Amino acid sequence: MASAGAGSTGHLDCMLLNATIGINVTHVPYRGGGPAMQDLIAGRIDYICTLSATARQQIEGKLIKAIAILSRDRSTMLPGLASAREQGLDFEASTWFGFFLPKGTPAPIIQKLNEATVAAIDTPSVQEQLKEVGAVAVAPERRSPVYLQKFVLSEIDKNAAPIKAAGLAID
């Protein structure tokens, strides 16, 4: 199994997948997704968990075979690719982004940044850009700083066991 590097989102997603299906494979960390993708195409590695946008061109060009999308739902970028969940695997992994500020940042600043971000997400041009890269805007009920804090804690809990099992540590 390859990844764009130890501790990358693809590495963690594959570790979660491996733990879910009960396999233990050798991890081959690369210095980025490009070199890993080249070795996948060449048949030097067996699989990689990577972003849809990274793999789309190779999938459409039939250079690699996509098995499943790891997010809960199908991707707008690859609508013909079934999710792992649709294929009977009780599993979900996805890459997400959030704004993180220093502890003690005044609440009015956090609120203003949140309001500006939500307004930007809802513009047609941002929606189009997200669609082009295969991203999905978070649902309105999940856009608050309070929700993000709870979500981050749940992600830490979800990822803790596979991270420990892989022997990963921050150096």
In a domain, residue 171? The reply is: no
In a domain, residue 170? The reply is: no
Single pTM value for the model: 0.77
Q: How far apart are the C-alpha atoms of 3 and 11, rounded to whole Å?
A: 5
Q: How much is the pLDDT for 73?
A: 87
**Taking the CB of residue 36, how many other CB atoms lie within 10 A of it?**
25
The CATH number linked to 109 is: 3.40.190.10
Total structural domains in the chain?
Answer: 1
Q: How far apart are the C-alpha atoms of 38 and 31, rounded to whole Å?
A: 12
pLDDT of 171 over the 70 cut: no
What digits encode the pLDDT tens for the residues 126-144? Answer: 999 988 887 888 899 999 9
DSSP one-letter code for 91: -
Q: How much is the pLDDT for 55?
A: 92
In a domain, residue 21? The reply is: yes
What digits encode the pLDDT tens for the residues 8-64? Answer: 889 989 988 998 898 989 999 999 999 999 999 999 999 999 988 889 999 999 999
Q: How much is the pLDDT for 89?
A: 93
In a domain, residue 12? The reply is: yes
Q: How far apart are the C-alpha atoms of 136 and 56, rounded to whole Å?
A: 16
pLDDT of 166 over the 80 cut: no
Where residue 169 falls among pLDDT bands split at 50, 70, 90? low
> Domain range holding 85?
2-165
What digits encode the pLDDT tens for the residues 70-126? Answer: 988 888 889 999 999 999 998 888 888 899 999 999 999 999 999 999 999 999 999
Q: How much is the pLDDT for 164?
A: 78
In a domain, residue 130? The reply is: yes
